[in-house]
């Protein structure tokens, strides 16, 4: 739930600091609509989401009721509801105005917990806390220059941004991650393992230690709670006020010391000691009892879903980096001959359809949507095939008849249990209003057990043939991840007496409930071995999750009363608005009122030594509340341009340029530009062109690959008096990519292929293709690239009459840790990256070149990765390049 404005706000903050009613009706099909409440507007495009949008408005108003008194005021907020995704999250941004993107679905990732009486209330409290924190401008002073970011607070460290939101979600709902069993187990395991991160490490968005990005939420939420407990919420506001006034060189720790009078590093050390003391007390008791299984993997991170084959001879599970693994099961639950079945896949659950086929649900990106579908994987060949299209399938379980039950739970439909049988999908059971399945298990004989959420409670239930349910556990038990052991017992995960997740077994014969594990970090995702020798599960430790095996002889078998976990605390604020609040007016959305400029930024700059020269550019920006329509008014100066004394200016409109604010990028994008701009003319000479150019493009996710298409056209006139002429140009570009990059933008895996064609009335036709592949192993990166074409224009020497040319490069990359931090990580030099590269090109003759780039990979303002590089090379002549690379 990270606010996406943090990176842009960080860059803006550096610049700023340096510079000083009617009755609603169901809408008909329209481009977009809005629900207008007193303090929030809810935008949505699908008319079927009207009821959900009204609920969002009610619960957002209720969330602001409790958050506004904390910060003293609340700005108007726009909330955008997207229905074409099955990835649960919320995205808060302060730019161009306070806004939140919401995904219209119920969470089925049990890592979040289900204690809140309203899932939407928890999400809105979290995201609106971000909004109000970024709107807290005390100490900043009035906007002075109109720069982008002057209307938002200076972004503090990520641990406080997310920590404050986790504190709020946990304080104002009965759920939240601050008090969750997962949080306690993880923090105490990390403390005992001696892997506790430093405060600067948790501050940095590039932190790669365990638990990765979750450190901002779990460590940040618990530490923020400790600070508020010791000093009160006013201490947080005072430190934010001092940080706003501190300028670009002042770390947050210095602002905290001024406002509160204590040292944050000392506070961090004190809190760590408290967590370690609790962990040691619990760990000492673990040596005296059974119930701790043996770890069978050592991968750590996000291992999940251990699933034994029907005969018990093999075990499949999901590992990290994302892959599906398979191993043979040896004596005593050992794992042998481990192998990777499929890389790049991260389902949350696995099931065996037959002796050689695994089924699972995972997100399958497609143009304009990101939905979860059923897939089958042949474990012998590694071939994956998609079983459903548009099913929105989650939590699959296989029946004895060879069908696959799965949960479909996305508004505005009621949650339901569907069955896939040889390509046919039918509804098996529809949940009552307000009830959501969060776990499914099918016994060998076909009994169906469900974990059902309702108003903050999760209960086990049996589904009867007539479509009714029989409750098995009380509401306070919070029973998750059910799994059958034979026909008369259910395994599941719940919170144990020590406050962490443990495994339990419920007998359906006599109702006896026994605790199976007693662990330090927690036990998750139980799966009984078919031969009855034990239980496979996921164990949480100081380095992440691993597959573990608990033999029948080592199980705790401790009788436990039904009231295992303490009753959930009452909700501190109602999750929904009072009955008299709403319904709110509904009207068609128009972008015009929100298209006023929201600020300006320096958008380009360059200093050249040979030949001597300089360039600078500023842009005034506008973006509507739907994040679909944007424009920029650009004014620049470049000494290399001879026309108009080097000055140029143009206006550009784009549709779909700000896709970072959306969960699902729009497939179609287009734009138009008019005015005067720098133009690369023939022979590499820069000229000033006046005219109009337009583009249209398509972004087409194809599951593993992403295709992109773009076509451009221009009608222009070159303004240089010696070259004055009119020109028509057109180009087309197509690319297919499957690649991953690290936080600094270095390509670490995958590749890209592209084709380009450019036609110019002045220079004729140019066609070329390019490709690149990259892989990183044992800290070394290797990248090979090629470029070949007909009458190409390279940045390397080429004979003027060349019709065909080929360029190939082979590069290595090695990053060396540095970890130099200023203050608490406000500015951090994290590593040095060296990139030697060999170049070969053919343009009538074979040529050889080489270069070496040395880069300092840094983080600015806690959250903006930037590389500052120097390149020295030879390609027909010695050349030198200096410049930054930013990964936004």
pLDDT tens across 532-567, in order?
Answer: 899 999 999 999 999 999 999 888 877 775 443 333
Identify the weakest region by mean pLDDT among 88-97, 141-150, 171-180, 670-679: 141-150
Give the model confidence (pLDDT) of 458-490 as tens digits. Answer: 999 999 888 888 999 988 889 999 999 999 999
User: Phi/psi zone of residue 300: left (φ > 0), alpha (ψ -120 to 50 degrees), beta?
Assistant: left
Q: Which of 67, 72, 127 is nearest to 99 (CA)?
A: 127
Q: Which pLDDT does position 42 carry in this prediction? A: 97
The least confident of 335-349, 365-379, 553-567 is 553-567
Please report which confidence band the pLDDT of residue 248 belongs to, taking 50, 70 and 90 as the band edges.
Answer: confident
Q: Please, are residues 759 and 738 in contact by the beta-carbon 8 Å criterion?
A: no
Q: Which residues are CB-neighbours of 285 under 8 A, at least 6 positions away? A: none
Q: Please give the pLDDT value at position 789.
A: 83
Residue with the bigger pLDDT between 120 and 879: it is: 120
Q: Which two tokens stand for residue 614?
A: 């300089």
pLDDT > 80? residue 745: yes
pLDDT bin (cut points 50, 70, 90) of residue 27 is low
> How far are the Cα atoms of 26, 27, 503, 802 from residue 34, in angstroms, in the given order?
12, 10, 46, 58
- Decide: helix, strand or coil at residue 652: strand
Mean pLDDT over residues 849-878, rounded? 91
The 10s digit of each residue's pLDDT in 601-659 is 998 888 776 678 889 999 999 999 999 999 999 999 999 888 888 999 999 999 999 88
- Which band of pLDDT confidence, cut at 50, 70 and 90, is reported for residue 878? confident
pLDDT beyond 90 at 267: yes
pLDDT tier for residue 720 given thresholds of 50, 70 and 90: confident
The pLDDT assigned to 697 comes to 97
pLDDT in the model for residue 488: 94
Domain spans of the chain?
1-155, 299-559, 590-695
pLDDT given for residue 790 in this prediction: 74
- 801-853 residue pLDDT tens: 456 778 899 999 999 999 999 989 999 999 999 999 999 988 778 889 999 99
Nearest to residue 39, comparing CAs of 98, 105, 103, 120?
98
Asked whether the predicted pLDDT for residue 12 surpasses 50, the reply is: no
pLDDT band per the 50, 70, 90 thresholds, residue 886: low
Q: Kindly tell me if the per-residue pLDDT of 240 is higher than 50.
A: yes
Looking at the chain, the whole-number percentage of residues with pLDDT higher than 90 is: 69
Please indicate whether residue 876 or residue 36 has the higher confidence score (pLDDT): 36
Percent of the chain with pLDDT over 70: 91
Residue bearing tokens 């409109």: 653
- CA dist 176 and 148 (Å) reads 33
State the Cα–Cα distance between residues 854 and 868, nearest whole angstrom.
8
Give CA–CA dist 167/453, Å, rounded.
23
Please list, residue by residue across 695-710, b when 16 or more beta carbons sit within 10 angstroms of its beta carbon and e when fewer do. Answer: bebbbbbebeebebeb
The candidate with the shortest Cα–Cα distance to 171, out of 214, 130, 229, is 229
pLDDT at 568: 37
d(CA 652, CA 275): 54
Mean pLDDT of 507-523: 93
The CATH fold of domain 1-155: Zincin-like (3.30.2010)
Q: How far apart are CA 9 and CA 98, in angstroms?
A: 12
pLDDT (mean) for 680-690: 75
Which pLDDT tens digit goes with each residue over 116-161?
Answer: 999 999 999 999 999 999 999 999 877 778 899 888 999 999 999 9
- For the segment 490-513, what is each residue's pLDDT rounded down to a tens digit? 999 999 988 999 999 999 998 899
Which whole number is the average pLDDT over 99-103? 95
pLDDT at position 565, please?
A: 37
As to burial, measured by CB atoms within 10 angstroms (0-12 exposed, 13-18 middle, 19+ buried), residue 439 is: buried
**Average pLDDT of the residues in 743-761:** 91
Question: 9 pLDDT band (50/70/90 cuts)?
Answer: very low
Kind and range of the H or E element at 333?
Answer: none
Per-residue confidence (pLDDT) for residue 652, from 0 to 100 = 98
**Is the confidence at residue 112, as pLDDT, over 50?**
yes
Separation between Cα atoms, residue 343 and residue 752, nearest integer Å: 18
- Average pLDDT estimate for 343-372: 94
Average pLDDT, the chain: 88
By C-alpha distance, which of 833, 844, 841 is closest to 874?
841
At residue 140, the pLDDT reads 86
The class of domain 299-559 in CATH terms is mainly beta
**Is 0.75 surpassed by the pTM of this model?**
yes
């Amino acid at each position: 739930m990270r606010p996406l404005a943090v990176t842009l706000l960080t860059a803006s903050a550096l610049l700023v600091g340096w510079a000083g009613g009617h009755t609603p009706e169901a809408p008909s099909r329209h481009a977009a609509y809005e629900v207008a409440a007193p303090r929030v507007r809810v935008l949505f495009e699908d008319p079927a989401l009207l009821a959900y949008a009204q609920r969002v408005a009610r619960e957002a108003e209720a969330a602001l009721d409790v958050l506004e008194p904390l910060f003293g005021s609340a700005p108007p907020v726009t909330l955008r509801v997207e229905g074409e995704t099955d990835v649960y999250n919320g995205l808060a941004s302060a730019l161009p105005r306070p806004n939140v993107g919401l995904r219209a679905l119920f969470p089925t990732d049990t890592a979040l917990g289900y204690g809140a009486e309203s899932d939407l209330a928890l999400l809105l409290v979290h995201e609106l806390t971000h909004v109000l924190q970024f709107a807290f401008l005390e100490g900043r002073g009035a906007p002075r220059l109109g720069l982008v970011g002057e209307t938002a607070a200076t972004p503090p460290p990520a641990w406080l941004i997310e920590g404050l939101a986790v504190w709020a979600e946990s304080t104002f709902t009965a759920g939240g991650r601050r008090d969750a069993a997962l949080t306690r187990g993880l923090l105490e395991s990390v403390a005992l393992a001696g892997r506790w991160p430093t405060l600067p490490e948790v501050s940095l968005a590039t932190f790669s230690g365990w638990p990765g990005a979750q450190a901002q939420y779990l460590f940040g939420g618990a530490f923020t709670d400790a600070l508020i407990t010791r000093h009160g919420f006013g201490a947080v506001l005072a430190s934010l006020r001092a940080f706003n006034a501190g300028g670009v060189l002042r770390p947050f720790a210095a602002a905290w010391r001024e406002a509160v009078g204590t040292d944050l590093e000392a506070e961090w050390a004190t809190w760590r000691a408290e967590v370690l003391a609790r962990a040691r007390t619990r760990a000492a008791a673990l040596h005296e009892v059974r119930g701790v299984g043996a770890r069978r993997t050592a991968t750590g991170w996000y291992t999940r879903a251990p699933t034994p084959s029907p005969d018990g001879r093999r075990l499949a599970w999901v590992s990290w980096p994302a892959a599906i693994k398979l191993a043979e099961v040896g004596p005593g639950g050992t794992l042998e001959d481990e192998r990777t079945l499929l890389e790049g896949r991260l389902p949350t659950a696995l099931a065996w359809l037959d002796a050689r086929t695994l089924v699972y649900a995972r997100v399958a990106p497609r143009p304009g949507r990101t939905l979860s579908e059923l897939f089958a994987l042949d474990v012998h060949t590694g071939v994956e095939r998609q079983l459903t299209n548009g099913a929105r399938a989650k939590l699959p379980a296989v029946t004895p008849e060879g069908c696959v039950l799965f949960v479909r739970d996305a508004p505005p439909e009621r949650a339901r249990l569907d069955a896939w049988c040889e390509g046919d999908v039918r509804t098996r059971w529809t949940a009552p209003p307000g009830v959501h399945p969060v776990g499914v298990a099918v016994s060998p004989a076909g009994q169906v057990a469900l974990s059902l959420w309702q108003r903050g409670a999760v209960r086990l239930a049996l589904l009867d043939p007539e479509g009714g349910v029989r409750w098995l556990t009380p509401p306070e038990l919070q029973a998750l991840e059910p799994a059958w052991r034979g026909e008369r017992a259910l395994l599941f995960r719940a919170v144990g007496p020590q406050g962490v997740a443990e495994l339990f077994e419920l007998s359906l014969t006599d109702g006896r409930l026994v605790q199976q594990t007693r662990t330090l970090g927690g036990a998750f995702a139980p799966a009984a071995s078919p031969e009855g020798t034990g239980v496979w599960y996921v164990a949480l430790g100081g380095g992440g999750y691993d597959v573990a095996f608990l033999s029948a002889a080592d199980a705790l078998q401790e009788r436990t009363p039904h009231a295992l976990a303490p009753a959930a605390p009452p909700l501190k604020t109602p999750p929904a608005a009072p009955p008299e609040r709403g319904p709110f007016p509904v009207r068609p959305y128009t972008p015009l009122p929100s298209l006023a400029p929201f600020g300006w930024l320096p958008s380009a700059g360059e200093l050249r030594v040979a030949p001597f020269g300089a360039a600078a550019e500023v842009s005034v920006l506008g973006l509507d509340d739907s994040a679909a329509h944007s424009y920029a008014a650009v004014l620049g100066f470049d000494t290399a341009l001879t026309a108009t004394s080097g000055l140029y200016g143009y206006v550009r409109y784009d549709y779909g340029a700000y896709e970072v604010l959306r969960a699902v990028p729009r497939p179609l994008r287009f734009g138009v530009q008019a005015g005067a701009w720098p133009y690369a003319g023939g022979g590499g000479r820069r000229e000033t062109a006046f005219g109009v150019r337009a583009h249209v493009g398509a972004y087409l996710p194809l599951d593993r690959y992403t295709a992109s298409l773009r076509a451009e056209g221009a009608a222009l006139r070159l303004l240089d008096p010696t070259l004055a002429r009119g020109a028509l140009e057109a180009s087309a570009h197509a690319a297919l990519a499957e690649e991953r990059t690290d936080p600094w933008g270095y390509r670490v895996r995958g590749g890209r292929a592209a084709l380009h064609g450019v036609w110019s009335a002045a220079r004729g036709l140019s066609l070329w293709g390019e490709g690149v592949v990259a892989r990183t192993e044992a800290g070394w990166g290797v990248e090979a690239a090629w470029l070949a074409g007909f009458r190409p224009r390279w940045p390397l020497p080429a004979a003027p009459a060349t019709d065909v040319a080929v360029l190939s490069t082979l590069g290595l990359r090695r990053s060396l840790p540095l970890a130099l931090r200023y203050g608490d990580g406000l500015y951090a030099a994290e590593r040095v990256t060296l990139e030697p590269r060999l170049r070969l090109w053919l343009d009538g003759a074979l040529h050889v070149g080489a270069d070496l780039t040395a880069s300092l990979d840094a983080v600015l303002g806690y959250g903006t990765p930037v590389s500052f590089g120097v390149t020295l090379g030879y390609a027909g002549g010695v050349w030198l390049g200096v410049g930054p690379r930013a990964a936004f």
